């Protein structure tokens, strides 16, 4: 091919989402020659279809809910008027405001060669992207994931939303049926309900099946309070076209065998995400897959040691911050030749319902399967004075500990749970003992005091024990 241009950078990054952009920006600013290949939207799923539009939608929904919640403070407000077109404009505006940070222009300004073509390996050391043949010293695959479309009979004959399409909706949604009770499903179900939509949520197992059931129960109460019709332990048998506004008929079957047909106006698929690895020519590069996921070791190297893979395409936790974390691991490996490895025990995650549900580290069940000396310490938000002033006492913090105060995991459900998780990320990430949290001086009244108090409760039995009381009495007798 006479029109083929050969490139020989230090690093070729395939994918312009969070992980790929982290590697490209970091490597270029550290002096490496970088080629970034992205055929679709810069910023990836997070900016265009995931974190940013979903949180912008949730912000709109929280404001609608605040108008209703004002009655508890003696402030009576009329029911909010929802303008779906303006909500969509708000979401688009937030995306547009962030997009320049992820743009081609910014990365070219950093010295990155950006190629807007589909990339595929043609050999273990060569990628082809349009008219370019790229023979890099190292490759980083960061292609992300895509929504799973389940094999439901009739689904190919009706229209439906996924998280990649629902945020652009400008029409009123009369009745939304959500298939999937994981984080995406519950977040969008609650947002739509608070924006005036009738919502039915269907989940084959239980709500948020991977999360602590004690904490999930508080989220469940909030969804029910928002008039969401929860159908747990229920599967979808088939879907078919309906009539009029109820244009979709969904056939359900519970795990006990009961059947039902629900007519809805719109359908949202939220049953998970699948790594994007097809069409990359990974077999020609000698890269092994596990299903659709690219297999990697703890250094994020594939079976082809010159190729790394990061983020959703590896089949691990599908979070933007994990992709960014992976990017940092890869930069240390490639640029500094350090054997940096992923530590799965320090990865936090948040479900942005209201109340939020946040986790870090091991769950109680996982901890008990690994250690014998596990202790759980928990405290409800009604013990926090700031939560009482805000009328937001329906929450709980749960610590999973070992003897001596080693912190194994933290779960928080409540207002701003994701923010409240921050000091625990520091504590677990740096291997601090629980005493570090118990000894903090925090301003009063704040929600963050819940962390200090639950930590203090762990030490209270020993602090106020018979032995310590006897010591104090003895010391008081001294002149």
Task: Output the pLDDT for position 242.
Answer: 87
Give which of 444, 445, 446, 426 is closest to 436, Cα–Cα. Answer: 426
Q: What is the pLDDT of residues 402-457, one digit of tens each?
A: 988 999 999 999 999 999 999 999 999 999 999 999 999 999 999 999 999 999 99
Task: Output the pLDDT for position 243.
Answer: 84
| Interatomic CA distance for residues 252 and 234, integer angstroms | 7
| Interatomic CA distance for residues 67 and 469, integer angstroms | 51
The full length of the chain comes to 479
Phi, psi torsion values for 310, nearest 5 degrees = -140, 160
Q: What is the pLDDT of residues 50-79, one digit of tens each?
A: 999 999 999 999 999 988 888 889 998 888
Yes or no: say if 64 and 82 are a contact pair by the CB < 8 Å rule: yes
Give which of 469, 420, 411 is closest to 449, Cα–Cα. Answer: 420
Task: Output the pLDDT for position 70.
Answer: 87
Task: Output the pLDDT for position 422.
Answer: 97
Confidence band (pLDDT; 50, 70, 90) for 2?
low
Confidence band (pLDDT; 50, 70, 90) for 1?
very low
Yes or no: say if 30 and 336 are a contact pair by the CB < 8 Å rule: no
Confidence band (pLDDT; 50, 70, 90) for 462?
confident
Half-sphere exposure (CA, 13 Å, Cβ side) for 330? 34
Task: Output the pLDDT for position 463.
Answer: 79
Average pLDDT in the chain: 95
What is the pTM (predicted TM-score) of this model?
Answer: 0.94
The least confident of 56-70, 132-146, 297-311 is 56-70
Joined together, the tokens standing for residue 273 give 């995400």
* Domains and their CATH numbers in the chain: 5-147+274-344 (3.50.50.60), 155-271 (3.50.50.60), 355-463 (3.30.390.30)
Alpha helices, DSSP H only, in 99-212?
Answer: 104-109, 183-194
- What are the CA-CA distances from residue 361 to residues 52, 346, 412, 434 (Å)? 25, 6, 12, 14
Q: Quick check: 217 pLDDT over 60?
A: yes
């Amino acid at each position: 091919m006479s029109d083929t241009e050969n490139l020989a950078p230090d690093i070729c990054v395939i994918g312009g989402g969070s992980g790929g952009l982290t590697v490209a920006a970091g490597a270029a600013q550290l002096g490496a020659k970088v080629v970034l290949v992205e055929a679709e939207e810069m910023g990836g799923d997070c900016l265009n279809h995931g974190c940013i539009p979903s949180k912008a939608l949730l912000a709109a929904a929280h404001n609608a809910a605040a108008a209703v919640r004002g009655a508890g403070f003696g402030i009576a407000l009329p029911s909010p008027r929802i303008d779906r077109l303006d909500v969509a404009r708000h979401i688009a505006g937030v995306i547009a405001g962030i997009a320049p940070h992820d743009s081609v222009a910014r990365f070219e300004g950093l010295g990155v060669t950006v190629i807007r073509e589909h990339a595929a390996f043609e050999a273990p050391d060569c990628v082809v992207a349009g008219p370019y043949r790229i023979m890099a010293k190292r490759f980083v695959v960061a292609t992300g994931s895509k929504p799973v479309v389940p094999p439901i009979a009739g689904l190919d004959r009706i229209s439906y939303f996924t998280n990649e399409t629902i945020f652009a909706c400008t029409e009123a949604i009369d009745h939304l049926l959500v298939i999937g009770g994981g984080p995406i499903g519950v977040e969008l179900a609650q947002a739509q309900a608070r924006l005036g939509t009738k919502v039915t949520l269907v989940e084959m197992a239980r709500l948020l099946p991977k999360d602590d059931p004690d904490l999930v129960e508080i989220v469940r109460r909030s969804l029910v309070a928002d008039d969401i019709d929860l159908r747990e332990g229920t599967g979808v048998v088939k879907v078919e076209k309906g009539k009029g506004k109820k244009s979709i008929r969904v056939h359900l079957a519970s795990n006990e065998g009961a059947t039902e047909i629900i007519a809805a106006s719109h359908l949202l698929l939220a049953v998970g995400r699948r790594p994007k690895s097809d069409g990359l020519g990974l077999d020609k590069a000698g890269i092994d897959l596990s299903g659709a996921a690219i297999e990697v070791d703890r250094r994020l190297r594939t079976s082809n040691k010159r190729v790394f893979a990061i983020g959703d395409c590896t089949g691990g936790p599908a979070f933007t911050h994990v992709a960014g974390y992976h990017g940092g691991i890869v930069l240390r490996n490639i640029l500094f030749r350090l054997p940096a490895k992923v530590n799965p025990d320090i990865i936090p995650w948040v479900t942005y319902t209201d109340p939020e549900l946040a986790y870090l580290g091991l769950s109680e069940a996982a901890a008990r399967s690994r250690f014998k000396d596990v202790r759980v310490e928990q405290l409800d938000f009604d013990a926090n004075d700031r939560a009482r002033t805000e009328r937001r006492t329906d929450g709980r913090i749960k610590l999973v500990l070992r003897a001596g105060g080693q912190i194994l995991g933290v779960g928080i459900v409540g207002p701003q749970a994701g923010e409240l998780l921050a000091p625990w990320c520091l504590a677990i990430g740096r291997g601090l003992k629980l005493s570090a949290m118990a000894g903090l001086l925090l301003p009063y009244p704040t929600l963050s005091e819940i962390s200090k108090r639950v930590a203090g409760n762990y030490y209270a039995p020993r602090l106020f024990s018979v032995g310590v009381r006897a010591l104090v009495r003895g010391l008081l007798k001294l002149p």
